[in-house]
Structure 1
Amino acid sequence: MNIGPFQIIIIALVILVLFGRGRISEMMGDFGKGVKSFRQGLNEDEKTPHKPEAARIEGPVHEAKPAGETTADKSAR
């Protein structure tokens, strides 16, 4: 089944009636802002220098207790 110009016009009119002209233009504006923000994010990633390997933190961030030294084990003794 081929979609002709008459069917496209009917679909466009139904969408216009359901959403209204103001809501459609608002959605398109939001879509444009999203695309612009996405492109800016991509450009910022390219401009941000990456940290060298020596600047990374080595070793554990916090000290973990062994499994045998939990508070539950101390109260059972």
Structure 2
Amino acid sequence: MGSFSIWHWLVVLLVVLLLFGSGKISGLMGDLATGIKSFKKNMKDEDDVSMADTAHLPPAGNLPPPGTPTTGTNNATTTAGGRPAA
């Protein structure tokens, strides 16, 4: 009941061919193949120009690592859970 026989798939294929026509389906397959080739070609390119401009910049934030005391106006002591100490 869960799987279709070969006859079911042939009927589905016939309906799809009647609706879209063989020319439109072959055109879609050609466009798909061109897209896949273009994607693979762009994945092979090692010198990515869009990322080369930002490669030398430092990270944008300046947050201290965890456990480092911070300086500022709020000098509240916190516990390990992040809640203020009593």
TM-score by length of 1: 0.61
Q: How many percent identity over aligned positions?
A: 32
Deviating 4+ runs (over 2 angstroms): 53-59
Query: Which one has more relative contact order, counting CA pairs under 8 Å at least 6 apart?
Result: 1
Unaligned runs of at least 5 residues, structure 1: 60-77
Q: Which amino acid aligns with 1:48?
A: D
The whole-number CA distance in structure 1 between the counterparts of 2:59 and 2:4 is 62
Alpha-carbon shift at residue 48 of structure 1 (Å): 1.0
The whole-number CA distance in structure 1 between the counterparts of 2:19 and 2:40 is 31
Bigger helix share: 1
Alpha-carbon shift at residue 35 of structure 1 (Å): 0.3
- Secondary structure of the 2:21 match is helix
- Secondary structure of the 1:48 match is coil
Alpha-carbon shift at residue 55 of structure 1 (Å): 3.5
Unaligned runs of at least 5 residues, structure 2: 61-86
Equivalent residue number for residue 8 of structure 2: 7
- Measured on the aligned residues, the alpha-carbon RMSD in Å equals 2.7
TM-score by length of 2: 0.55
